[in-house]
């Protein structure tokens, strides 16, 4: 019954339906912008529509999560978390518009910027990781992403940056969002180029495009040359940007073959060795610049970043020692097994050669002798070299040959000794010895 309801909910939140609702909301917002043209109700209606689009983003990520396997499931979890934080910030913005309280605008901006942190975790998804296994090293990766976020936030704080004095390129302003997004875009593009999976490459490539566009939009909005009114045409741009992740999630396709494919060596090296060092390196360079305005904070953050890197190195070294120890034990166990096998072969050979009963091994296909013991040589009068050139048909009655071939069809090379017709060993009157 629970499975039925889950399937019913998934059908209700289908990809096509989510896309249709998203485009309907954008169309409604376009009509609102055209009709109200910056009137008092326009900003509130625009933010409510964007809030609804954010909810659709979460539903689209959940729906894509249900259709995914492997590392893609972690990716959609992180993306859903991103939009959950974004929804909190957007909801706070709606509250500020309704209440007229401007004291929380800084907090609202902070939460909006905070929503980018889960994006920063996407490049750390290990292609060799088990689908249902969480590596504790990802906790340190998350710490490094948070530290990098803090360094960007400090670098673009009011003490060190303002829209009026910031670097400008045309209508665009260098801001904290575009700085953070530039690093993410670089890691996403690198990850997309290294993966062998078309679906994973599509995910990282499309998300990189989304980050570029959203960063440019934020940079454009911060330019002091612009006079963007709330509820105007630029709010429609923000809404269109929110449709992009909805389309990415709704059109996401995956295949078992791609998700189970082995990652390339270069991809594993970048994910497990380069990316964990990339954020600390950027953080260290930015902290040297931030130290002028925030000396104590910068040194404290530097110590945290260095501690996280050192802890990661120690954990990796411990895992390497454990792997080497397991490998050493495996080698020792294999040597013991090989020695036991050799000893067993020696004992078997000794038993075979010293047996007083004639015994031999022959090939069931060709009936050729493979080995005979000393008792067989004494009993039949043929030398070992002669036996190796003979077949068992040379010492058995002709009427036994078809029976031997029929019995040996489903067998491996056989070990035998002389038997009488009743099946009891000891009598050899039906076996042919060498003529004197």
User: Does residue 77 or residue 197 have the better pLDDT?
Assistant: 77
* Whole-angstrom distance, CA of residue 72 vs CA of residue 200: 7
pLDDT, mean of residues 358-373: 85
Q: pLDDT tens for residues 206-265?
A: 999 999 999 888 888 877 666 777 777 888 898 999 999 999 998 887 654 444 345 566
pLDDT value at residue 429? 40
Q: pLDDT tens for residues 162-196?
A: 877 778 787 788 888 889 989 999 989 888 888 77
Under the banding of pLDDT at 50, 70 and 90, the label for residue 434 is low
pLDDT, mean of residues 292-305: 92
pLDDT value at residue 433? 56
Q: pLDDT tens for residues 252-290?
A: 876 544 443 455 666 666 677 778 888 899 999 999 989
pLDDT value at residue 269? 67
Return the percentage of the chain with pLDDT > 90, whole number: 23
pLDDT value at residue 265? 63
pLDDT value at residue 191? 84
Under the banding of pLDDT at 50, 70 and 90, the label for residue 295 is very high
pLDDT value at residue 166? 78
User: Does residue 421 or residue 68 have the better pLDDT?
Assistant: 68
CA distance readout (Å), 146 to 180, 186, 310, 364: 11, 18, 17, 71
Q: Among 166, 210, 168, 187, which residue's Cα sits nearest to residue 60?
A: 210
Under the banding of pLDDT at 50, 70 and 90, the label for residue 395 is confident
What pTM was estimated for this model as a whole? 0.71
Q: pLDDT tens for residues 116-150?
A: 999 888 888 765 554 455 677 888 888 999 999 99
User: Does residue 69 or residue 49 have the better pLDDT?
Assistant: 49
Under the banding of pLDDT at 50, 70 and 90, the label for residue 399 is confident
Q: pLDDT tens for residues 70-122?
A: 777 888 999 999 999 999 999 998 888 888 788 888 898 899 989 999 988 88
| pLDDT at position 1 over 50 | no
| pLDDT at position 299 over 90 | yes
User: Does residue 55 or residue 270 have the better pLDDT?
Assistant: 55
Under the banding of pLDDT at 50, 70 and 90, the label for residue 377 is confident
Query: What dihedral angle (degrees, nearest 10) is formed by the CA atoms of 220, 223, 229, 232?
Result: -10
Q: pLDDT tens for residues 5-34?
A: 444 444 556 888 999 999 999 999 888 888
pLDDT value at residue 332? 87
Q: What is the mean pLDDT of the chain?
A: 80
pLDDT, mean of residues 335-361: 85
pLDDT value at residue 435? 52
């Amino acid at each position: 019954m629970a499975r039925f309801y889950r399937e019913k909910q998934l059908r209700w939140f289908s990809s096509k339906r989510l896309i249709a609702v998203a485009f309907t909301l954008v169309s409604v917002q376009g009509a609102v912008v055209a009709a109200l043209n910056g009137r008092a109700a326009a900003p509130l209606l625009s933010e409510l529509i964007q809030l609804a689009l954010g909810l659709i983003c979460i539903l689209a990520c959940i729906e894509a999560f249900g259709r995914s396997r492997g590392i893609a499931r972690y990716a959609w979890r992180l993306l859903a978390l991103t939009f959950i934080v974004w929804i909190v910030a957007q909801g706070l913005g709606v509250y500020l518009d309704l209440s007229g309280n401007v004291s929380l605008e800084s907090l609202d901006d902070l939460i909006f910027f905070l929503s980018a942190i889960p994006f920063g975790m996407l490049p750390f998804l290990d292609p060799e990781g088990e689908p249902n296994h969480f590596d504790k090293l990802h906790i340190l990766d998350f710490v490094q992403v948070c530290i990098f976020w803090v360094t960007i936030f400090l670098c673009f704080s009011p003490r060190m940056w303002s829209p009026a004095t910031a670097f400008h390129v045309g209508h665009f302003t260098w801001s904290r969002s575009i700085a953070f997004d530039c690093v993410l875009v670089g890691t996403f593009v690198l990850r997309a180029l290294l993966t062998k999976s078309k679906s994973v490459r599509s995910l990282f490539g499309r998300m990189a495009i989304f980050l570029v566009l959203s960063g440019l939009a934020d940079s454009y909005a911060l330019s002091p040359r612009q006079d963007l009114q709330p509820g105007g045409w630029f709010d429609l741009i923000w809404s269109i940007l929110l449709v992009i992740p909805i389309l990415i999630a709704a059109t996401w396709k995956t295949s078992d073959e791609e998700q189970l494919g082995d990652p390339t060596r270069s991809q594993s090296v970048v994910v497990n060795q380069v990316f964990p060092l990339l954020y600390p390196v950027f953080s260290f360079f930015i902290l040297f610049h931030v130290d002028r305005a925030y000396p104590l904070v910068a040194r404290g953050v530097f110590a945290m970043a260095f501690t996280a890197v050192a802890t990661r190195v120690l954990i990796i070294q411990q895992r390497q020692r454990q792997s080497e120890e397991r490998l050493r034990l495996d080698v020792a166990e294999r040597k013991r097994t090989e020695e036991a096998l050799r000893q067993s072969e020696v004992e078997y050979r000794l038993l075979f050669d010293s047996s007083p009963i004639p015994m031999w091994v022959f090939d069931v296909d060709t009936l050729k002798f493979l080995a005979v013991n000393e008792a067989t040589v004494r009993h039949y009068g043929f030398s070992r070299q002669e036996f190796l050139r003979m077949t068992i048909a040379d010492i058995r009655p002709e009427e036994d040959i078809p029976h031997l071939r029929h019995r040996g069809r489903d067998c491996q090379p056989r070990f035998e000794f002389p038997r009488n017709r009743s099946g009891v060993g000891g009598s050899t009157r039906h076996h042919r010895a060498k003529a004197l």
